[in-house]
Chain A
Amino acid sequence: MLNLVGLITLGAALALPQVAMAGDAAAGDQRYHQSCHACHGPAGKGVSSYPKISGNPIEYTREKLKAYRAGQKIGPNSGLMIMMAKPLSDEEIENLSAYLKDAKYEK
């Protein structure tokens, strides 16, 4: 009995980190509208010479934001993104990734 409880608890403990890190798309939407929208446009659709960033898997966006935050140069506008990503927390990155995955511009 105790072993079973122990197993369940262990299982729950193992599962918890993933649940805690799942992004909140609504919070990502809010964070997106603080600054990202000014260049990337509504719902990450891309405007002017700024690329579309919506419709990508969460892992893709998370990896890109973490790379920029670490100061990694990827393309010609990396300098701009490194500046923008520097203040992002892990939680904000998760939220933004979740929001952008399904974000759609409805006009």
Chain B
Amino acid sequence: MKHTVKKTLIASVASALVMGGTVAVAAGMDVPIIKATPVLEGLDKPWDMTVRADGTMFFTEKCKGLSMRSPNGQVTNIYGMKGSSGYSSSGADLFCEGQAGMMGVAPDRNFDQNRRLYVASTSDKYHGSGCKSNFERCDGNIVMRLTLSEDLKSVTDRTDIVTDIQYKPFESNQPFGGPGAHNGGRLRVGPGGYLWITGGDRHRGVCPQSPKLLCGKVLRVDTDGNAHPDNNPPAGFDKRIYTYGHRNVQGIDFRPSDGKAFTAEHGPWHSDEITALVNGGNAGWDPQEMTAGRGACPDKYCGYEPEQMDGMDPAVRASYMPMSDTRFDDLMPPTWNNNGWSQGTSSAAFLKGENWGIYEGRLATGVLGIGFGGTPIGQRIDMVGITSDGMAINAITRMPVGFSKRFRGLVMAPDNSLYVAVDEGEIYRITATSQQ
């Protein structure tokens, strides 16, 4: 009797090994079938998009402007920039340079009634007489509230609700040192309909920890650009600031279970980070020279030091110039630091819907790929399982999309598919189909 049972057991296990995935499904693991299909191709640096329930997609191209793809596939160029042609209208003050240009786009929570889109862009409208060097304030990034016409093909009103985010106008002695560097630029509408705006340190050492400068911050404002009443930055800080001490945030989304904000951020030759945001918290990035044991740095910015133009063990570099300096009492420690690598983590979106099977609720992050100084290039979308307290990860799986590109923008669509923009010039729609 025992012998027969044992034989049957061995046979079952053997067939289970052969069946592989099928057995996993039978055992309760819903691994979805994931498929990517191109939606638009031949675009010029697509950066961000938002999708409506009927499949209408608004998207930005960093040096060209805002466009719309209708459900029937027709593309309308709605609002252009300096030098754009073929747009219903344009903002001649909007321009692109290096990493900067027209970037994030997000719809008002009541878009179906008010047709309002929020768009982040670099602009020369509020420069005044302009700054003479990178060591001055140098405003140059704005957030616009655009109201679209009834047919959604043109802009009937543009109101600039944030006009004083800093920009980097001159080249500096840094890797990626051209103008426009570390320009942040992602926009998302979060709980309660408030607008979240992510920033970068624009290669200026004093930015992230500065109380009044908006570079290196995540802002939370209402749709007129005023501070959320519950923002709680340290005393003396601009009240629009939700968190400070950031390097270059280009990913933000809100956990479906509780609305908690999580950011995805580029690291300095080490440690891309996912961070659970705390109201008034410090992300811990402080690239000032003569600080925290460091001496003088090129152009007063220690961000890539030491030996900023050479490869180095990321862990050694991180001890000199940490991405999250533990000397800060109000530090928000990273949930995930990409095994200590910086590979260009640019976007983040929580996966929503049962169709995502075991990946439902994970944070999808898009990685551009870098490949300097011995770092593996790493272009991919990761699906990251975050613990309930938000402080660590409990799973990470590479999304099997079938190709490696510079994954720049991720956003969930109402039909629970994931839209992805790649720098190479395409936007894809990624579907997940549950096998149960």
Contact = CB atoms under 8 A, between A and B. Distances in A.
Contacts of B45: 47-48
Contact of B42 (A35, A39, A48, A107): A107
B371 interface: yes
A76 interface: yes
Contact of A107 (B98, B368, B373, B426): B426
B175 A48 contact: no
Q: Which of A38, A77, A80, A105 neighbours the largest number of chain B CB atoms within 10 Å of its CB?
A: A38
Interface string B364-386: 00001111110001010000000
Interface string A75-107: 111011011100000000000000000000101
B373 A47 contact: no
Contacts of B426: 107
A83 B372 contact: yes
Given A48-B99, A49-B99, A49-B180, A42 B424 contact: yes
B310 to A, nearest CB: 7
B376 to A, nearest CB: 10
Contacts of B406: 38, 41, 47-48
B111 interface: no
Interface centre among B180, B369, B372, B424 (most CB of A within 10 A): B424
Interface in B355-414: 368-373, 377, 379, 406, 408
Nearest to A71: B309
Contacts of B423: 41, 47-48
Nearest to A75: B178
A38 B373 contact: no
Interface string A41-77: 1100101110000000000000000000000000111
Contacts of A49: 98-99, 176, 178, 180
A77 B373 contact: no
Nearest to A82: B309
Contact of A35 (B171, B371, B408): B371
A47 B377 contact: no
Interface residues on A, range: 10 to 19
B208 to A, nearest CB: 21
Interface centre among A49, A84, A105 (most CB of B within 10 A): A49
- Interface hub of A41, A75, A76, A84 (most chain B Cβ within 10 A): A76
**Interface range for B:** 20 to 34
B171 A76 contact: yes
Interface in B152-180: 171, 174-178, 180
B308 interface: yes
B425 interface: yes
A87 to B, nearest CB: 11
Given A48-B406, A83-B311, A107-B41, A39 B371 contact: yes
Given A39-B371, A41-B406, A48-B99, A80 B175 contact: yes
B372 A77 contact: no
Contacts of B371: 35, 38-39
Q: Which of B171, B174, B308, B371 has the most CB of A within 10 A?
A: B371
Contacts of B308: 79
A83 B373 contact: yes
Contacts of B370: 38-39
27 contacts: A35-B377, A38-B369, A38-B371, A38-B379, A39-B369, A39-B370, A41-B423, A47-B406, A47-B423, A47-B424, A47-B425, A48-B45, A48-B408, A49-B98, A49-B176, A76-B177, A76-B178, A77-B175, A77-B177, A79-B174, A80-B175, A80-B176, A83-B309, A83-B310, A83-B373, A107-B41, A107-B425
Given A38-B370, A83-B372, A83-B373, 8 more contacts: A38-B371, A41-B406, A48-B423, A75-B178, A77-B177, A79-B177, A82-B309, A83-B311
